[in-house]
């Protein structure tokens, strides 16, 4: 039993400020996170005052500070009532704070600490807000879903890092969406002019080779941002040399040129499908409100492979989009 500080006089019966349970839980939540987090993160407090971001975390690799930051909002609870699917919906974030998270320049994560079990779980904020933007517009609460498998901890550092990189790529993906119409126009133009020419002829135009390389590089980047894979087949090593030197290794034949066009064609069709699902379904309201012009341009892209389009259809795609 803790000793009493009062001296036994009546002064011990006077009203005193009380420490709210929420303060105790909040301190416990931070203690759990600090104990469980990966040692690859540098943790710094934010504020006071803070407006929804409690901590700043910075990523390190093999002791090297990478300059990659994220904001953390800490929440604590005495016990997490996981459902049968091992997930839990949390909606105790103020609508104004959700709006702040969305426009915050860095990735934002909610950390929910179970102070009785001494474990913590993470949830990316921006992804949920964008997918539930209709509720954000009407200042309603948003349900963030925590999964038991998304636990903060040294053994789960890769999962947290992947989620961090995904949130970090959101802005780059948004920029990419604005690039896709012009990319399709440039690709269809090159495809229309040079697809399946005499396969044994050499490509004697260095400018055309460089144009093809730039399209491959861009399409590979787009694929990565949409969590897709550009399939290089057995020519991955050849591509790495091509990218490093800026010149195709050896002599490029027209059949090589066509094979690379086919790779771009297949990869870009998957990118278009993913982009159209994003702006037309997953984040439909977000894009309709924030950038309707982007949504319209993406939904207007031809999702078909260039190789199956008629020459007339491919020719119509050659005109650069005004977007």
Looking at the fold, whether 161 and 184 belong to one and the same domain comes out as: no
* 114 closest CA partner among 19, 31, 52, 23: 31
Looking at the fold, whether 84 and 195 belong to one and the same domain comes out as: no
Question: How big is the CA angle at 190 (ends 189 and 196), to the nearest 5 degrees?
Answer: 120
**Tens-digit pLDDT profile for residues 56-81:** 999 888 889 989 999 999 999 988 99
Q: Model pTM?
A: 0.81
Does 1 fall in a domain?
Answer: no
Structural domains in the chain (count)? 2
Looking at the fold, whether 64 and 159 belong to one and the same domain comes out as: yes
Q: Which domain, by its residues, includes 95?
A: 20-168
Crossing angle for the helix pair 236-245 and 206-225, nearest 10 degrees?
A: 120
Point out the domain boundary residue: 152, 168, 184. 168
Please compute Rg for the chain using Cα positions. 26
Peptide bond into 172 cis (omega under 30): no
Point out the domain boundary residue: 137, 168, 199. 168
The whole-number pLDDT of residue 185 equals: 92
pLDDT at residue 321 is higher than 60: no
Looking at the fold, whether 230 and 300 belong to one and the same domain comes out as: yes
Q: Which strands make up the sheet holding 41-45, listed edge to edge?
A: 41-45, 55-61, 64-77, 108-114, 119-124
pLDDT at residue 16 is higher than 80: no
What CA–CA distance (Å, rounded) separates 305 from 256? 18
Mean pLDDT of 155-182: 88
Tokens 């379904």 sit on residue: 281
Confidence category of residue 271, pLDDT binned at 50, 70, 90: very high
Query: Which contiguous run of DSSP H or E holds residue 73?
Result: strand 64-77
Does 157 fall in a domain?
Answer: yes
Looking at the fold, whether 180 and 147 belong to one and the same domain comes out as: no
- Tell me if 93 sits within 8 A of 86, measured CB to CB: no
């Amino acid at each position: 039993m803790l000793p009493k500080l009062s001296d036994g006089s009546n002064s011990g019966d006077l009203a005193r400020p009380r420490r709210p349970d929420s303060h105790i839980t909040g301190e416990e939540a931070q203690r759990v996170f600090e104990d469980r987090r990966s040692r690859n993160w540098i943790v710094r407090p934010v504020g006071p005052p803070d407006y929804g971001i409690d901590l700043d975390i910075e990523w390190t690799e093999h002791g090297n500070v990478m300059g990659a930051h994220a904001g953390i909002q800490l929440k604590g609870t005495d016990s997490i009532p996981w459902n049968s699917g091992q997930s839990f919906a949390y909606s105790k974030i103020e609508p104004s704070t959700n709006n702040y998270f969305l426009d915050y320049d860095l990735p934002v994560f909610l950390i929910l600490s179970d102070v009785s079990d001494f474990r913590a779980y993470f949830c990316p904020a921006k992804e949920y807000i964008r997918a539930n933007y209709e509720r954000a517009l009407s200042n309603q609460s948003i349900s963030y879903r925590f999964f038991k498998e998304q636990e903060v901890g040294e053994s789960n550092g890769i999962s947290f890092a992947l989620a961090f990189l995904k949130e970090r790529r959101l802005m780059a993906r948004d920029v990419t969406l604005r690039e896709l119409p012009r990319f399709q126009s440039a690709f269809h133009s090159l495809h229309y002019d040079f697809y399946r020419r005499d396969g044994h002829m050499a490509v004697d135009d260095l400018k055309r080779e460089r144009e093809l390389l730039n399209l491959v590089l861009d399409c590979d980047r787009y694929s990565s941002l949409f969590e897709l894979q550009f399939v290089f087949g057995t020519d991955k090593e050849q591509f790495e040399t091509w990218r490093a030197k800026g010149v195709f290794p050896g002599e490029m034949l027209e059949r090589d040129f066509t094979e690379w066009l086919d790779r771009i064609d297949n990869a870009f069709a998957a990118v278009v499908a993913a982009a159209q699902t994003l702006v037309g379904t997953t984040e439909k309201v977000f894009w309709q409100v924030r950038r309707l012009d982007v949504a319209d341009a993406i939904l207007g892209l031809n999702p078909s492979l260039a190789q199956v389009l008629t020459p007339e259809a491919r020719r119509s795609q050659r005109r650069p989009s005004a977007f």
